[in-house]
Amino acid sequence: MTNNITTIKSSKGSLSWVNIVNAKGKEIDYLKRKYKFKELDLSDSYARQYAQRPKFHQRNDYFFLILQFPYYNKEKREIIAEEIDFFVTKDEVITVHKNNLQPIVSFFNECRKNEFISDQYLGGDNASLLYEIIIRLQFYTYPILDHISVDIQNIEKKIFAGEERQMVTEILYIKRNILNMRKIMEAHKNVMQKIIKENIKFFPMQKQLAYYDHIIEHSKDIWGIMEGQKDMIEALENTNTTLVSFKLNDIMKLLTIFSVIVFPLTLLAAIFGMNTVNGMPFIDTPNGFWAIIAIMLVGSFGMFIFFKKKKLL
């Protein structure tokens, strides 16, 4: 047995919890030799492997379960999927993961260090222990959802405070995290329903049926929260896009009006810049230069008054 495999057992029952961290060749070989698990299930449990979706397979003397839960990477500001694999036999609950999900790390350490907690959760059956692990991991998702909701509220405030351009990137970050959360959690309800429907002899589901229904209800609640967040961030994105477009259009209109106002200056400057001396007005006039400047200013002022009356300025 390697250092990555830790086993705890209650003094009040026969149930053991085997916790495996970063399973590689030695850990997988240990599971293969001791429990005779199927090669297909073992290959899914390698630390370098990543399941594309949650799954549940019932075998003769055990069942194999893969669930995914969200993990927030603070450096990248990204929610990613952390996988946890379960091998459940009559007398063991075996968990295989990368040690990044704080609820299962804390729960295992509590059971290992505190005999009272160990007797409380490992003194019963495997269905009770599996429920406790899953429900703690589910509760772990609520603070992440709350953080997303706070981010959405902050984005809403900043959008209407005139920070539309800065919020474009922030909105994309939130949309990506909501999308990742949905991909992670969307199959939980179906997987748990499969477990409930299966008649597994060594897994006393009927005793814990109400508790597992509780897991399904939490899955529905989490999905409902994510649906609301998805609708909210999409509405804010549309609002932000409209405001940015409006401001850009306003800038383009202002630049267009400015170019029209200075058009008389450009036109007269071009005319009086032509190399035609004979017949050009104001050429021989002592104050001809100032007369031309006055005409330019009057033309520009006239255009300004015109746009002002049209309420375009």
How do residues 72-116 score in pLDDT, each as one tens digit? 988 888 999 899 999 999 999 999 999 999 999 999 999 999 988
Are residue 279 and residue 158 in the same domain, yes or no?
Answer: no
Q: Report the C-alpha gap between 42 and 45 in whole angstroms.
A: 5
Are residue 101 and residue 163 in the same domain, yes or no?
Answer: yes
Structural tokens at position 48:
């370098």
Are residue 42 and residue 181 in the same domain, yes or no?
Answer: yes
pLDDT score for 143: 93
| CB atoms near residue 27 (< 10 Å) | 22
| Coil vs helix vs strand at 204 | coil
Model confidence over 222-264: pLDDT tens digits?
A: 999 999 999 999 999 999 888 888 777 777 877 777 777 777 7
Mean pLDDT of 35-46: 87
Are residue 272 and residue 124 in the same domain, yes or no?
Answer: no
Q: Which CATH number is 36's domain given?
A: 3.30.460.20
Contact 21, 71 (CB under 8 A): no
| Coil vs helix vs strand at 16 | strand
211, part of any domain: yes
Contact 120, 42 (CB under 8 A): no
Are residue 220 and residue 101 in the same domain, yes or no?
Answer: yes
- Chain-centre distance of CA 28, in angstroms? 32
230, part of any domain: yes
List, in sequence order, every beta strand (DSSP E) within 35-75: 55-58, 63-73
Are residue 218 and residue 268 in the same domain, yes or no?
Answer: no
Are residue 277 and residue 160 in the same domain, yes or no?
Answer: no
Percent of the chain beyond pLDDT 70?
93
DSSP state of 207: G
Domain extent for 128: 5-246
Q: Report the C-alpha gap between 149 and 223 in whole angstroms.
A: 14
Q: Report the C-alpha gap between 123 and 14 in whole angstroms.
A: 8
**What amino acid occupies position 10?**
S
Q: Is the pTM of this model over 0.85?
A: no
229, part of any domain: yes
Contact 86, 17 (CB under 8 A): no
193, part of any domain: yes
Q: Report the C-alpha gap between 85 and 42 in whole angstroms.
A: 10
User: Residue 194: enclosing H or E segment and its boundaries?
Assistant: helix 188-197
Task: Answer whether residue 168 shows pLDDT above 70.
Answer: yes
What total of structural domains would you count in the chain? 2
pLDDT score for 293: 77
